[in-house]
Amino acid sequence: MGHHMHGRGRLDVGDINLKDINFKHLGRTKEFLKPHFTRLAVAMVLVIGIAYLGLQGPLIIAQILDIIPVGDQDGLYRLVTIYLILQGIIAVLRFAQTYIMSWTGQKMLYGMRKRLFVHLQDLGLDFYDDLQAGRIMSRVVNDVEAINQLLSGGALNLLSDLVTIFGIMYIMLDKNPTLALTTFITIPLLFLTVWFLQGRLTVAYHRNRRRLADIAANLQESISGMKITQAFSREDVNADRFSETNERNFESQMDAAKLHALFFPLVDVIGALGIALVYYYGGLRMFISDPAITVGTITLFTNYVTRFFGPIRNLVDVWNQVLGAAVSAERVFEVLDTVPNVQDKLGAVELERVKGHVLFNNVTFGYDPELPVLHGVNIEAKEDETIALVGPTGAGKSSIINLLCRFYDVQGGQVMVDGHDIRDVTIQSLRENMGIVLQDTVIFSGTIGDNIRYGRLGATHEEVVAAATAVGAHEFISALPDGYDTQVRERGSRLSVGQRQLLSFARALLADPRILILDEATSSVDAYTEMIIQKALEELFKGRTSIVIAHRLSTIRNADRIYVIDQGLLREVGSHEELMNSDGLYKSLYEKQFTGEPLANAASGE
The tens digit of pLDDT for each residue in 181-229 reads 888 888 888 878 877 777 777 777 777 777 777 777 777 777 777 777 7
Amino acid 266: pLDDT? 85
Please name which of 574, 573, 517 lies closest in space to residue 541, comparing C-alpha atoms: 517
Convert the pLDDT of each residue in 29-71 to its tens digit: 788 888 888 888 898 899 999 999 988 888 888 888 888 888 8
Q: How many whole angstroms from its chain centre is CA 86?
A: 45
Q: Is 530 helix (H, G, I), strand (E, B) or coil?
A: helix
Strands (DSSP E) contained in 487-560 are 487-488, 515-519, 545-549
Amino acid 284: pLDDT? 87
Q: What DSSP element (H or E) covers 506?
A: helix 497-511
How far apart CA 518 and CA 504 sit, in angstroms, is 10
- Average pLDDT, stretch 146-164? 84
Confidence grade of residue 603 (pLDDT, cut at 50, 70, 90):
very low
Amino acid at residue number 512: D
Amino acid 2: pLDDT? 39
Q: For residue 576, what are the contacts with CB-CB under 8 A and spacing of at least 6? A: 556, 557, 559, 562
Angle at 110 between CA 129 and CA 21, to 5 degrees: 60
Confidence grade of residue 91 (pLDDT, cut at 50, 70, 90):
very high
How far apart CA 316 and CA 535 sit, in angstroms, is 70
Dihedrals phi, psi of 377, to nearest 5 degrees: -90, 135
Q: What is the DSSP string of 247-315?
A: HHHHHHHHHHHHHHHHHHHHHHHHHHHHHHHHHHHHHHHHHTT-TT--HHHHHHHHHHHHHHHHHHHHH
Which stretch of 226-230, 302-306, 467-471 has the lowest confidence by average pLDDT? 226-230
Confidence grade of residue 95 (pLDDT, cut at 50, 70, 90):
very high
Amino acid 84: pLDDT? 94
Cβ(509)–Cβ(542) under 8 Å? no
Counting Cα atoms < 13 Å in the Cβ hemisphere of 406 gives 24
- Average pLDDT, stretch 562-570? 85
CA distances 412 to 361, 366, 427, Å, are 9, 10, 19
Confidence grade of residue 92 (pLDDT, cut at 50, 70, 90):
very high
Amino acid 88: pLDDT? 95
Amino acid 78: pLDDT? 92
Pick the residue with more confidence: 460 or 590? 460
Convert the pLDDT of each residue in 470-503 to its tens digit: 888 888 888 888 888 888 876 666 777 778 888 8
Q: What is the DSSP string of 56-113?
A: HHHHHHHHHHHHGGGT-HHHHHHHHHHHHHHHHHHHHHHHHHHHHHHHHHHHHHHHHH
Q: Is 385 helix (H, G, I), strand (E, B) or coil?
A: coil
How far apart CA 479 and CA 502 sit, in angstroms, is 15
Amino acid at residue number 355: K
Pick the residue with more confidence: 419 or 393? 419
- In whole numbers, what is the pLDDT of the chain averaged over residues? 81
Confidence grade of residue 602 (pLDDT, cut at 50, 70, 90):
very low
Counting Cα atoms < 13 Å in the Cβ hemisphere of 134 gives 13
Please name which of 413, 399, 332, 433 lies closest in space to residue 126, comparing C-alpha atoms: 399
Amino acid 385: pLDDT? 87
How far apart CA 539 and CA 564 sit, in angstroms, is 25
Convert the pLDDT of each residue in 96-129 to its tens digit: 998 998 888 888 888 888 888 888 887 777 677 6
Q: Strands 386-390 and 545-549: what pairing? A: parallel
The pLDDT of residue 139 is above 80: no
